[in-house]
Structure 1
Amino acid sequence: MAPLRILWDLEDDPDGNVQHLADHGVSREEFEEIIFHPHAFDRSRSTGRHIAIGETSTGRTLIVVFDELDDSTIYPITAYELEE
C-alpha cells in the first residue's frame, strides 16, 4: 500500500506529527522513504495501527506508525529507529 498523499501537520505546531517525529530523531523525508519503499507493512500488536518497516538511504532501520484515512491518504503518528 503506497499512499498518494501524506497529511502533515504544520512544522511549527508543537503538538503536530512533524514535531513528534523530530522528537524521535526522524525527519519527514526519512518517514517518506520508508512509506514509499518499505521492506514490510504490518499492524502494531499494541495499538492495531498500521506500521511500515524499512531502511533509509543512510542505513537507519525505522519503524513508522500511521493511520490510514482513506485508500490514498495516511496520517503519520510516530516513528523510531529499530534497536539491534
Structure 2
Amino acid sequence: MWRRIIWNEEIGGNVEHIDDHGLTVEDIEHVLAHCESEGVSHSSGQPCVFGYTPEGVYIIVVYEVVDEDRIYPVTAYEVPEP
C-alpha cells in the first residue's frame, strides 16, 4: 500500500487542479485516509476512492499509482452521495 502522496504546486499541477474544483490538499488527504469505498474511474481507468471531506462533502479522488509507495492525485470533485 502507498505511503506518500505526491503534490505538484506548480501552475497546472494537481494542487491547482483540485483547487479549481473548490477542494484543498487537506480534503484530498482526509478522503484518501478515510475513504468510504474504492473503485476505478469510468473515464480514465485510474483507481479512485470516494469519501467525505471534513466539511461533509462527498467527493471522488482519482489517482495514479506511481509505485508501491507513492500515488499522484490526478483530480477530485464533488459527486452525488450513493
Q: CA deviation at 1:46?
A: 1.9
1:80 — aligned with what?
A: 77
Gapped regions of structure 1 (runs ≥ 5): none
Q: CA deviation at 1:81?
A: 0.6
Q: CA deviation at 1:83?
A: 3.3
CA deviation string 1:6-57 (max 9, x = no partner):
01112xx221100000001110000000111100111012211011000122
Letter in 1 for 2:64: D
Q: In 1, distance between residues paired with 2:8 and 2:25?
A: 11
How many residues were matched structurally?
Answer: 81
Secondary structure in structure 1 of the residue aligned to 2:48: strand
Secondary structure in structure 1 of the residue aligned to 2:45: coil
Q: In 1, distance between residues paired with 2:33 and 2:27?
A: 10
Q: In 1, distance between residues paired with 2:18 and 2:46?
A: 16
RMSD: 1.2
Secondary structure in structure 1 of the residue aligned to 2:71: strand
Percent same amino acid at aligned positions? Answer: 40
Gapped regions of structure 2 (runs ≥ 5): none
| TM superposition score normalised by structure 2 | 0.91
Runs of 4+ in structure 1 over 2 Å off = none
